Amino acid sequence: MPELPEVETVVRTLGPLVIGRVLGRAEVLCPKILRQTPAAGLAELAGRRVRSVRRRGKMILIDCGDLGLVFHLKMTGQILVVPAEAPRDKHTHLVIGLHDGVPRRRVAGADAAAADELRFHDVRKFGFCRICPSGELASAPEIAALGPEPLEIGLEEFRARLSRRRGRIKSLLLDQAVIAGIGNIYTDEILFGAGIHPLTPVERIRRPRIEALFMEMRAVLERAIDAKGTSISDYVDAQGSPGGFQNLLRVYGREGEPCIRCGTAIRRIVIGGRSSSFCPKCQRQR
């Protein structure tokens, strides 16, 4: 599932494939995935040059001058850059032409440069794309509501944000308004590393352990980015390559297997409808 490290990897692989290139015609094969995007907005994309590709939380922001594209991959979304002639499948929902700069005058009879396509692909159709004026990007509801970036926030701000809230630590780390970009896999990995039971009320976690949590959050996310994300079901980067962090997971998806630290069987519980794996010995409920 694309979380911060996967989205970061998509952004890093997508950027070089699209920045400086010009968008062509957009084709919507599944209108459901367009959020608050009038057909006119789509038509206006054609001819615009891609300026930048950035990430905010789990959102992908593509700046095309005065128009911006926002993608959220949710669980099974993919953004791919492929040759225009590559076959599509039934889960390809949005296609935007992509070509190199448009010369002022085309040489008669010259072949058009081989064109690529930027494609949004999503088996479950939970993901979406929004097109809006660049000036409205920051105020788009999905972005305005996000908490700070976990790799940019400092320890004191992290601690302050958590201390303002009540509730289970797992639910808070998953809450995008508290901190942006962490999902189910990395929450479990971070809590394991910090030795905190996922159901622990945040107000019961003492300062030294909050510090351990902060360090672990940074370490896990950075390691996962280094490994180019976790590919369990559908995740691939903009070139279609899988990540490698699934081989480095310490607790997620390891229910019943021995804890890598103490050998105790990893247990799984459901919190807020999400499965949570943890070691009952290394992550004692305090």
Partner DNA sequence: AGTTCCCTGAGG
Partner DNA sequence: CCTCAGGGAACT
Interface residues toward DNA, by CB under 7 A: 1, 3, 32, 57-58, 72, 74-76, 90-91, 123-126, 142, 145, 166-168, 171, 174, 176, 183-185, 270-275
In the complex, least distance from residue 32 CB atom to DNA, rounded to whole angstroms: 6
Asked whether the beta carbons of 230 and 163 are under 8 A apart, the reply is: no
In the complex, least distance from residue 166 CB atom to DNA, rounded to whole angstroms: 5
Nearer to DNA, 22 or 61 (CB): 61
Catalytic residue among 21, 55, 58, 254: 58
Catalytic residue among 2, 5, 150, 198: 2
Catalytic residue among 48, 274, 280, 281: 274
Nearer to DNA, 18 or 70 (CB): 70
Can you state the angle between helices 184-194 and 207-226, rounded to 10 degrees?
130
Catalytic: 274?
yes
Asked whether the beta carbons of 244 and 228 are under 8 A apart, the reply is: yes
Catalytic: 85?
no
In the complex, least distance from residue 163 CB atom to DNA, rounded to whole angstroms: 14
d(CA 147, CA 264): 35
Q: How many residues does the chain have?
A: 286
Beta bridge partners of 101: none
User: Helix, strand or coil for residue 73?
Assistant: coil
Q: Residue 187: how many CA atoms within 13 Å on its side-chain side?
A: 24
Catalytic: 3?
yes
Catalytic: 58?
yes
Q: Which residues are catalytic?
A: 2-3, 58, 274
